[in-house]
Amino acid sequence: MRVGVIERIKGPVVIASGIKDVQIGEVIEVGEERLIGEVVRVTSDNFTIQVYESTSGLRPGEKVYATGKRLVAELGPGLMSRIFDGIQRPLEEILRRTGPFIRRGVKLNALPRDKKWYFKPLVKKGDVVEGGSIIGIVPETRIIEHRVLVPPDIKGEIVKIEEGEFKVDETVAIVRDKRGREHEIKLMQEWPVRVPRPFKSRLPLTEPLITGQRVIDTFFPVAKGGAACIPGGFGTGKTVTLHKIAMWSDSEIVVYIGCGERGNEMCELLTEFPKLIDPRKKVPMIERSIMIANTSNMPVSAREASIYMGITIAEYYRDQGYHVTLIADSTSRWAEAVREISGRLEEMPVEEGFPAYLPDRLAEFYERAGRVVALGTPEREGSVTILAAVSPPGGDFNEPVTIHTLRFVGAMWALDTDLAYRRHFPAINWLRSFSQYAEPLEKWWVEKFPEFPNYRRRALRLLTVASEIEAIASVIGEGALPDDQRLILLTAEIIKEGFLRQVAMEGEDTFCKPEKQYLMLKMIMDFYDRAYILVRHRVPVDDIANLPEVFEMMRVKEDERGVEAVKEVYEKVIKALDNIARKYGIDLEGELRGWRKGE
């Protein structure tokens, strides 16, 4: 082993000398306790190590040991339903080993070495395989079948493969390449976390990630393989939104990175996941989830690594042919870790102390999202969707991390402090948010509900107009507005309270399926069309506003009977408006027909 010596210690950064051939990215063990670190800078006479654990008590003169390895993720069965720190140390085992407080210098493998897995080959002796090919499967959890892949750089003929029980580091197959060299394939492989895993080709993004949150799915959707960010000041609802998506979205696998955030939030996931039953597969959600936790009080440099660790694991399951959602809360804390290390390296800061390469780092990260055709055989597709929280200082989006993130994502769910104060959750501002996926995904909706795009566009327009009217109303008072404008405000309120607001943490409204979203939107917009005709015929808007059915529209989302209840309220609303029309002698249906034609 190559051994050097510590020259200087500055927080998480250690300068050492005495090893000639170290490389950037090489893992170094530092000091007597052999703390894990990575080389971040090399000069002619020394090198700098970013240490992933507390350096408190370290002394100049202590030894450092070069490992010749880069920072890698261990990939194989045994990741699912577990929780790791930023450099993939298993937190549950650490708890067992060192008690409730994390002590440093603990060395544990991510994948247990003693556990045996049942491997069933899918190829046989004589078959030709290449990097990425599936050679067999292991039941990892009740819902996740782990597909064992040939590591990317190997190609050749299977000369040996066996069914049976194996530990992760035992050989299950041997591949002989063209030059006659034999490669042992194990259940486990390693991959350097800072390098994206290769794939064959990218595919267009045509399928939505169904989150069950109306404001997202209907108005600002994200495609499977896309990237969305959710920026917002403290307490505006980033974490709750992301938790809900982690729990309820139709992802096949979720990798959740708690990056520089609260310990209690990770604990909440750990307590909730095992209790939540996947409505489709009927087993606890924990069996499709992997967690990376590097909370705010854990070492900053490991926080920097946690993002790469998470995305590498996500890519690995993508390569097996799964739709994976990667959630990172919060990328701002990651950017701050990058800044802090950069500062200790005395690099030249550009904006707000961030180094000049911040945008590149962000771009590299978001580039790792995508829907792809995986390498190898059989042909299959998989995707990684990235959903990332951004925590702008003071809640002001005009700051480097938010600005640069927006360049690389396809959707933004802009959280709004005012909405949060009014307890309108999710506090996603419908005027500031956007999704470039809305258009390509329209086809998906139209196949199911041909009228959907029309309702969606009209509802968005109505909300925009309503905000303009509100601005006027805040100066002259609502009472002074003409009735048609007051009707717009009323309808906007029904959309906000009855459709956009979705706060349930249990029961019917936690997850709203697409059909119900569509029917609810249709109910409100059909209400608006009819009421509009009535108001034009001088029916006082208060007659409409005071209908009990108006309040029912706001409540129906929580009715346990779901779609049925919406249909029922829909009928009631139409009937109530028909009654008013009759009272005033207005031919509502006739006018609606004419109106639709005219449109």
Ligand X SMILES: Nc1ncnc2c1ncn2[C@@H]1O[C@H](COP(=O)(O)OP(=O)(O)OP(=O)(O)O)[C@@H](O)[C@H]1O
Distance, CA of 349 to CA of 200 (rounded, Å):
38
Residues binding ligand X: number (CB under 6 A)? 14
For residues 156 and 177, the answer to whether their CB atoms sit within 8 Å is yes
Our finding on whether 426 is near ligand X (CB under 6 A) is yes
For residues 259 and 304, the answer to whether their CB atoms sit within 8 Å is no
Distance, CA of 303 to CA of 292 (rounded, Å):
10
For residues 469 and 485, the answer to whether their CB atoms sit within 8 Å is yes
Our finding on whether 234 is near ligand X (CB under 6 A) is yes
Binding-site string for another protein from residue 394 to residue 433, where x marks contact by CB under 8 A and - marks none: xxx--------------------x--xxxx----------
- Mention every residue, 6+ apart, whose C-beta is less than 8 A from residue 337: 260, 300, 301, 303, 304
For residues 387 and 222, the answer to whether their CB atoms sit within 8 Å is yes
Among positions 295-324, residues that touch another protein (CB under 8 A) are 295-298, 300
Our finding on whether 237 is near ligand X (CB under 6 A) is yes
Burial of 262 (0-12, 13-18, 19+ CB in 10 A): middle
Q: Which is nearer to another protein, 444 or 551 (CB)?
A: 551
The entry of another protein, ligand X, Mg ion, none near residue 555 (CB within 5 to 8 angstroms by kind) is another protein
The pair of structure tokens assigned to 304 is: 């920097």
The entry of another protein, Mg ion, ligand X, none near residue 426 (CB within 5 to 8 angstroms by kind) is ligand X
Our finding on whether 180 is near another protein (CB under 8 A) is no
Query: Minimal distance in Å, beta carbon 117 to ligand X?
Result: 37
Query: Minimal distance in Å, beta carbon 354 to another protein?
Result: 9
Query: Minimal distance in Å, beta carbon 156 to Mg ion?
Result: 48
Contact window for Mg ion (CB under 5 A) among 125-133, 141-149, 230-238, 478-486:
230-238
The entry of another protein, Mg ion, ligand X, none near residue 296 (CB within 5 to 8 angstroms by kind) is another protein
* CA-to-CA dists, residue 57 to 12, 33, 53, 54, 336, angstroms: 12, 11, 12, 9, 25
Q: Which is nearer to another protein, 327 or 375 (CB)?
A: 327
Q: Which is nearer to ligand X, 46 or 417 (CB)?
A: 417
Binding-site string for another protein from residue 323 to residue 352, where x marks contact by CB under 8 A and - marks none: ----------x--x--xx--x-----x--x
Among positions 234-293, residues that touch Mg ion (CB under 5 A) are 238-239
Our finding on whether 236 is near ligand X (CB under 6 A) is yes
* CA-to-CA dists, residue 349 to 344, 355, 458, 575, angstroms: 11, 5, 46, 65
* Residue 414: Cβ within 10 Å count: 22
Contact window for another protein (CB under 8 A) among 170-178, 289-297, 431-439, 451-459:
289-297
Contact window for ligand X (CB under 6 A) among 232-240, 288-296, 364-372, 556-564:
232-240
Indicate the angle between helix axes 588-598 and 563-584, nearest 10 degrees: 110
Q: What are phi and psi of 113, to 5 degrees?
A: -90, -20
Among positions 345-404, residues that touch ligand X (CB under 6 A) are 391
For residues 332 and 342, the answer to whether their CB atoms sit within 8 Å is no
Our finding on whether 295 is near Mg ion (CB under 5 A) is no
Contact window for another protein (CB under 8 A) among 359-367, 427-435, 468-476, 563-571:
468-476
- Mention every residue, 6+ apart, whose C-beta is less than 8 A from residue 72: 190, 191, 192, 193
Distance, CA of 417 to CA of 546 (rounded, Å):
30
Our finding on whether 264 is near another protein (CB under 8 A) is yes
Our finding on whether 391 is near another protein (CB under 8 A) is yes
The pair of structure tokens assigned to 56 is: 């408190």
Q: Which is nearer to another protein, 218 or 239 (CB)?
A: 239
Indicate the angle between helix axes 483-494 and 548-555, nearest 10 degrees: 30
Location of structure tokens 């042909």: 379
Distance, CA of 424 to CA of 503 (rounded, Å):
8
Q: What are phi and psi of 328, to 5 degrees?
A: -125, 115
Distance, CA of 255 to CA of 292 (rounded, Å):
8
Query: Minimal distance in Å, beta carbon 261 to Mg ion?
Result: 6
Contact window for Mg ion (CB under 5 A) among 69-77, 120-128, 232-240, 380-388:
232-240
Q: Which is nearer to ligand X, 15 or 240 (CB)?
A: 240
Our finding on whether 91 is near another protein (CB under 8 A) is yes
* Of residues 439, 389, 384, the one with CA closest to residue 412: 389
Q: Which is nearer to ligand X, 13 or 228 (CB)?
A: 228
Query: Minimal distance in Å, beta carbon 572 to another protein?
Result: 15
Our finding on whether 108 is near another protein (CB under 8 A) is no
Distance, CA of 313 to CA of 574 (rounded, Å):
51
Residues binding another protein: number (CB under 8 A)? 76
Query: Minimal distance in Å, beta carbon 59 to another protein?
Result: 4
The pair of structure tokens assigned to 50 is: 């970013």
Distance, CA of 456 to CA of 176 (rounded, Å):
57
- With CB under 6 A as the contact rule, the residue among 232, 258, 284, 498 that binds ligand X is 232
Angle at 558 between CA 279 and CA 532, to 5 degrees: 125
Q: Which is nearer to ligand X, 50 or 213 (CB)?
A: 213
- With CB under 6 A as the contact rule, the residue among 191, 308, 425, 532 that binds ligand X is 425
Query: Minimal distance in Å, beta carbon 49 to another protein?
Result: 13
Distance, CA of 467 to CA of 389 (rounded, Å):
26
Radius of gyration of the CA atoms of the chain, in A? 28
Our finding on whether 152 is near ligand X (CB under 6 A) is no
Location of structure tokens 């250690």: 14
Binding-site string for another protein from residue 567 to residue 586, where x marks contact by CB under 8 A and - marks none: --------------------
CA distance from start to end of the chain = 78
Residue 17's DSSP bridge partners are 5
Among positions 500-529, residues that touch ligand X (CB under 6 A) are 503
Q: Which is nearer to another protein, 103 or 582 (CB)?
A: 103
Contact window for another protein (CB under 8 A) among 52-60, 168-176, 210-218, 524-532:
52-60
Among positions 160-189, residues that touch Mg ion (CB under 5 A) are none
* Residue ranges in contact with Mg ion by CB under 5 A: 238-239
What are the residues binding ligand X (CB under 6 A)? 232, 234-241, 261, 391, 425-426, 503
